[in-house]
């Protein structure tokens, strides 16, 4: 329905690269803040603290340098790819994690192949993040049902889980960078998905009910 619709527009603010950088520099920044707070409360400067602070600054410097280099090298290749085989690869990658959590990933009579014009690695990332969230939403043995189909002009990928689900308030926040309800979550998974899908001129929306589960619906323009 309309209010459950989440547009990919929300996620135009940051790119994937900015997202990873922000996440990676969080720890050294937290540590730096701690030392600054300590200094301002004790009004003293400890040489060994300064040394740690310097190395934290070096770390931030290094990380951002690496990320920038990565961004430059990581060229994007838009090619005709089969969405079904990308999905099976992701499925393979997540089998271990799914098994450990007693989660079954099942495919509903998918047609094959479903060609889309895309960067394979980016689409892999999208499927990976969505299925990871589905696995993490499970409290006990769960089922993730994946349906891939071609409509008249679109390739539709539906990822359905029977996990904890979400109320409307949470649904509205999906895709906001750093929004996470998990203890160790980054809140970047969906932000990255939104930005990639937008880049592919696709759409994503979620439907969910608390205690019943969540469905993510991704649509890409179908290739000829
Ligand atoms: P993270 O997984 O690091 O928390 P994400 O951007 O992937 O960050 O997801 C953001 C939040 O959206 C999650 O913390 C969770 O609250 C909610 N969420 C995403 N997918 C699901 C899902 N399948 N079921 C329930 N909640 C979900
Ligand atoms: Mg996630």
Taking residues 188-192, report their average pLDDT: 83
CA of 200 to the centre of ligand 2 (A): 20
**In the structure encoding, which two tokens stand for residue 148, read together?**
């891939």
| Stronger pLDDT, 117 or 73, i.e. the higher one | 117
ipTM of the prediction: 0.99
41-45, 59-63, 78-82, 172-176: the lowest-pLDDT one: 59-63
For the beta carbon of residue 219, count every other beta carbon within 10 angstroms: 19
The structure's pTM equals: 0.74
Helix then strand then coil, in percent of the chain rounded to 5, is 50, 20, 30
Tell whether ligand 1 has an atom less than 6 A from the beta carbon of residue 133.
yes
Per residue in 17-65, pLDDT (tens digit) is 566 566 668 888 999 999 999 999 999 999 999 999 998 898 788 776 6
Taking residues 80-99, report their average pLDDT: 91
For residue 147, what pLDDT band results from cuts at 50, 70 and 90? very high
Counting ligand 1 atoms within 8 A of each CB, the residue from 128, 175, 180 with the most, and so the one to mutate, is 180
CA of 222 to the centre of ligand 1 (A): 27
CA of 181 to the centre of ligand 1 (A): 7
Q: Which of 112, 113, 129, 91 is nearest to 11 (CA)?
A: 129
| Stronger pLDDT, 112 or 216, i.e. the higher one | 216
Look at ligand 1, atom 14, and give the residue with the nearest C-alpha. 180
């Amino acid at each position: 329905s309309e209010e459950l619709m989440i547009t990919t527009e929300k996620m135009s603010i940051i790119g994937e690269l900015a997202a990873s950088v922000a996440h990676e520099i969080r720890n050294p920044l937290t540590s730096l803040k701690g030392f600054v707070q300590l200094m301002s409360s004790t009004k003293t400067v400890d040489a060994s603290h300064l040394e740690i602070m310097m190395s934290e600054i070096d770390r931030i410097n290094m990380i951002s340098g690496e990320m920038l280099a990565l961004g430059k090298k990581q060229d994007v290749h838009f090619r005709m790819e089969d969405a079904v085989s990308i999905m099976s690869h992701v499925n393979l990658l997540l089998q271990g994690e799914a098994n450990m959590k007693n989660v079954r990933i099942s495919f509903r009579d998918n047609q094959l192949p479903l060609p889309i014009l895309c960067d394979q690695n980016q689409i892999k990332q999208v499927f990976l993040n969505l299925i990871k969230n589905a696995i993490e939403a499970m409290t006990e043995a769960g089922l993730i049902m994946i349906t891939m189909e071609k409509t008249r002009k679109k390739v539709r990928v539906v990822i359905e889980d029977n996990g904890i689900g979400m109320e409307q308030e949470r649904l509205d926040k999906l895709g906001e960078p750093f929004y996470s309800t998990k203890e160790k979550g980054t809140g970047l998974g969906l932000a990255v998905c939104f930005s990639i899908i937008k880049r592919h001129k696709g759409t994503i929306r979620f439907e969910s009910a608390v205690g019943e589960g969540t469905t993510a619906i991704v649509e890409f323009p179908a290739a000829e």
